[in-house]
Structure 1
Amino acid sequence: MPTTLIYETHATTLDNEQGIATGWLPGELSAAGRQEAVELGMRRQGVDVVFSSDLRRAVQTVELAGLEAPHFVDWRLRECNYGELNGRPRPELEPRRDRVDTPFPGGQSYREVVESTRSFLTDIRRLYDGAQVLLVAHSANRWALQHLLAEESLEELVAAPFDWQPGWIYGV
């Protein structure tokens, strides 16, 4: 039986509402985000295990979701490190396409996020065969999953707008 990976973005943060690119900064959920986290919990009851980024906004999302499954944090699920641009207005990070292989100043490239996500997936396949695994992380991780599991172009993914939906499901 294949492993089912359910990916959800962390809930809305104060930075999201203000157009700030949080990057590796912790971030804090907004009032709307706290409600979204509760809704995520209602949507995802019954998963076997939950993994999240170690950044505060992802951990807080899982905590407020109130799921009964064990929750583990994993640094490999962090957002892209924008380096000197962590915490800056989102338009300062555009265009993103040129950061697929070239790191942000003092940070990392999107390809590096793909490699961290690939390492995480290797462990999930080995340790959670047949399980329903919930992953709560960031937009860069979603692009990495689409690239690795759906074979979509990373360049096209990072250049396109991020369209939120209540989760994505993958077989791994």
Structure 2
Amino acid sequence: MQSNKIVNITFFAHGTTTDNEKELASGWADAELSELGKKQCMQLKELIKNKKFDFVFSSDLKRAVDTARLTFGNVRTIEDKRLRECDYGDFTRLHSDKVDSVILNYINKPFPNGESYRDVERRIRSLLNDLFEKYSGKNVAIIGHRATQLALDVLLKSRTWQQAIKEDWRSKQPKEWKPGWAYRLGRVLSPTTRAKSSGP
């Protein structure tokens, strides 16, 4: 496959927030970066200083926007609502353990007054198809959330949602953070482009 038909995507997780430190699930609620989160952004900026990105995309939630600003400085960031975290609805700002304990129940059905992970998958697929149409051959940075990255794993690495959730680096001890995760987008993703899923 010709390299000029590939979108090279590097995903970056937003910095630690005050909600993260309180072990609260923010969902679509805005949360401020903590002092640790701001420090992480400056460290990431140093770690990736020799990498070139043609475009930077970010969730429009404040924690992602602030991460993009601190990490990429004056590089123009394109904010896109489709990159948001999952909308936890009535579970928003509950303890993270509470959300994690029921997360597999909401792959196909939405959180009460929120959305499902399939909903997240649909909006991330829409964004990826736009990227393929407009940015083939480019190096693109994406700053997002757990659900953003899990959807990338499902759509671009052929994982089921169950696998993506189980293998998520955030659930491991110690957490297996990296200064960026690489993905390659080489075609338009149809509505059936997803790993097969079983369960709820």
Normalising by structure 1, we get a TM-score of 0.94
Does 2:61 match 1:48? Answer: no
Q: How does 1:57-72 map to 2 (within 5 A)?
A: 57-72=63-78
Paired letter, 2:41:
A
Distance 1:70 1:18 in 2: 31
Does 2:117 match 1:110? Answer: yes
Which residue of structure 1 lines up, in the alignment, with residue 193 of structure 2?
A: none
Cα root mean square deviation, aligned: 1.3
Paired letter, 1:157:
A
Q: Cα offset for 1:50? A: 0.5
Which residue of structure 1 lines up, in the alignment, with residue 150 of structure 2?
A: 143
Contact 1:48 1:70 in 2 (8 A): no
Paired letter, 2:87:
N
Q: How does 1:89-168 map to 2 (within 5 A)?
A: 89-93=95-99, 94-161=101-168, 162=170, 163-168=176-181
Which residue of structure 1 lines up, in the alignment, with residue 81 of structure 2?
A: 75
Distance 1:4 1:40 in 2: 19
Any unmatched runs of 5+ in structure 1? none
Paired letter, 1:32:
L
Q: Helix, strand or coil: the match of 1:41? A: helix
Distance 2:35 2:71 in 1: 14
Q: Cα offset for 1:158? A: 2.2
- For these two proteins, the number of residue pairs brought into alignment is 172
Contact 1:97 1:159 in 2 (8 A): no
The percentage of aligned residue pairs carrying the same residue is 35
Q: Cα offset for 1:41? A: 2.3
Q: Cα offset for 1:74? A: 0.2
Contact 1:53 1:137 in 2 (8 A): yes
Q: Cα offset for 1:160? A: 4.4
Q: Cα offset for 1:18? A: 1.2
Q: Helix, strand or coil: the match of 2:46? A: helix
The CA deviation string for residues 39-97 of structure 1, in whole angstroms up to 9 with x for no partner, is: 22233342111000000000010111134432110000000000011111112212211
Distance 1:100 1:159 in 2: 13
Please, which moves more after superposition, 83-92 or 72-81? 83-92
Larger gyration radius, structure 1 or structure 2:
2
Q: Cα offset for 1:28? A: 0.6
Paired letter, 2:12:
E
